[in-house]
Amino acid sequence: MILNSINEPADLKLLSHRQLVELCEELRTFIVDAVNTNGGHLGSNLGIVELTVALHRSLNSPNDIILFDTGHQAYVHKLLTGRIDGFAKLKRKGGISGYPSREESDHDWIENSHASTVLAYAHGLATATQSLNQTEPVDNRRIVAVLGDGSLTGGMAFEGLNNLGHSGSDVTIVLNDNGRSYAPTISLLTDSLIKIRSNPVYMRRQRMLESFTARLPIIGKYSLAGIRASKAAIREALEPQAFFEPLGVRYMGPFDGHNIEELEVALTNADKFDGPVVLHVRTQKGRGFAPAENDHVKAMHDTSPHFLDKEAGSGANPTAPPADANTAPSPTSTSIEPKPDSYTDAFTESLIKLADEHQEIVAITAAMPDSTGLLPFRERFGDRCIDVGIAEQHGVTAAAGMAMGGLRPVMAVYSTFLTRAFDQVNLDVGLHRCPVIFCLDRAGITGSDGPSHNGILDMVLLSKVPGMTIFAPSSYQELQQMLHDAYDITDGPVCIRWPKTSAPSATPDQVGIGVNARKITTGSDVCIIGVGKMAGAATEAAEQLTQHGISATVWDPRAAKPLDPAMLDDAANHGLVVTAEDGLAEGGIGSSIGLRLAGRGPEVHVLGVPTEYITHDSADTILHNLGLDAEGIANTVLQCLNRG
């Protein structure tokens, strides 16, 4: 197998064209197998195989800097930089991260998994390279930023383009376009223009012609204007560089993202121009794998382990020859539904029922309608589901405007991505007391996607927004009740946060109402308060403590803000109070409980996530290591009571 002979990028330069084609097939097969074993990002990596090979054949990494936005498309890059063995435990402890990791390799410069940031990194690195070259020259270093067309919808990407163009930084921007944005009409004339405009020899001759024409007596300036106007008219009609070039960024493309030879020529030519250059590359997400190619929702962007078993059970053919990069996915594939009995499924079901009753409800997503459970809502209500792209900040402030105009916006977003828009939550929504409902999926420890995806900041941050109500459901039915309660709160924003786990089922008597806490058990030795999913762990801990003769009261606060006074009064009657939450301990809900109980008698011990970056592993393993499971809570109680 050719892939086994690739230990570093330089090895690629020894391969023939036939061997490169074979290598690309091996890379796709390897990635499908690795993701099937461990789960991970599939479609984006299948689509970037040839492009990554071309990058490493054209550049000299790590001296040349390759930056990926977002990093989930870096699997091929990792395989070509000597990390094939780590894929046996992809996204698991002892294996490699699902994103670039500076600890893994010198070829990984940044560890980004939040979109639209790479051009800012590139601008900073180019500035540093230019500055150092004045005193300590860096050996012909190139900086190449690879970003998807989806990432280009984020505000930071536009800010990066503006600053790169203004500074004239020598950065090559590879726009990995899978067909949804910035796709000009493909024709023979366009192909000819592409080849001409990306040829430095032609460009030099063009400048010479313009210079000569401008010096012609009398008619010079008119002839020059005519030449430029004619070229501009053709460009405006046929190419999207009219968007980039006013920003000072040269546009080249589009190029076939699955043609290595064509990509290498383009990358070589881009290096001959001064200033930033965009290479527009057309790729097909999920290329070469039939189920991904036929998934019109997200081309199997990410998958759980053992998905091949499910494909075999459905009768799907998992193999397919690579399709043309400009061919649309099959319209016959089915929509991606939330996992049954998940918190996301509970949210989807309840939101649709609520929207049936209240026409003013609209749903907002930041380019993730599938993962946040909004696809069924969109299918039912159409334009009442608003996708703002990868633009969380815009989404939050737009939600404030919608609320001001009489709508009831529900913004569904991952916890880790809402933190990108905290200023807007605080001052655009909170300050105006807009009744926006934020529904945070993947709150708490998510595990395998590493530190960038753990949703551990939301309770610390949102609890500091005046007038914010925070719900943390502990069951499927509680989430549905909380969404109805959130709708009834009209004097300020509401947040409902839930984890990436299955949701326990609760009976009617186990479901609370409003912002009232729910008492689960009554005891005398210790009061355990478990926030959200930690209520289940707290209940199990209480059962374990009975074996040690310890009687425990357990509370599910339900509302992390405001805290129920009845719960606090009851907790104050115990000598020991232990709180547990799957967010940061410092400044979190347990800390708030401690402050409210200060001077009232009990010792308060706060369990939560430490203020550090938590590396990838399974969520259950991480929580166990942090003492945030039943065993850990019980052990904390025993130690505090000196019985451990």
- Active site members: 285, 392, 420
Structure tokens at 368: 């993730």
Give me the sign of the Cα torsion angle 453, 459, 463, 464: negative
Of 195, 194, 282, whose CA–CA distance to 241 is shortest?
A: 194
Identify the H or E element spanning 130.
helix 118-133
Tokens of 491: 């004097």
d(Cα 553, Cα 529) in Å, to the nearest integer?
8
303, β-bridge pairs: 40
Q: Which residue has the tokens 């366009």?
A: 190
Q: Contact 392/413 with Cβ under 8 angstroms?
A: yes
Strand order from edge to edge, sheet including 494-497: 385-387, 361-365, 408-414, 437-441, 494-497, 469-471, 559-561
Distance CA 400, CA 438 (A): 11
- The DSSP bridge partners found for residue 470 are 495, 561
How far apart (Å, rounded) are the C-alpha atoms in residues 95 and 75? 13
* DSSP for 575-616, written as a single string: SEEEEEEEEESTTSHHHHHHHHHTTSS-EEEEEEE-SSPPPS
Of 557, 457, 469, 496, which is closest to residue 350 (Cα–Cα)?
Answer: 496
Nearest 10 degrees: CA dihedral of 150, 151, 152, 154? 110
Q: In 226-311, where do the E strands start and end?
A: 250-256, 277-282, 302-303
The upper half-sphere exposure of residue 290, i.e. CA atoms within 13 Å in the direction of its Cβ, equals 12
Name the β-bridge partners of 529: 555, 579
Which among 582, 633, 621 has a CA at the least distance from the CA of 343? 582
Amino acid letter at 190?
Answer: T
Say if residue 106 is exposed, middle or buried (CB neighbours under 10 Å; 0-12, 13-18, 19+): exposed
Indicate the length of the chain as a whole number: 644
Distance, in Å, from the CA atom of 50 to the CA atom of 258, rounded to the nearest integer, reads 5
Tell me the CA distances in angstroms from 238 to 187, 276, 291, 406, 440, one per residue in order.
9, 21, 33, 42, 42
Q: Contact 575/528 with Cβ under 8 angstroms?
A: no
The token pair at 99 is 């994103």
Structure tokens at 453: 């995806």
Cis preceding-peptide flag for 565 (omega within 30 of 0): no
Provide the total of helices (H) and of strands (E) in the chain, helices listed first.
25, 19
Residue 521 β-bridge partners: 554
Sequence-distant (≥ 6) Cβ neighbours of residue 217 within 8 angstroms: none
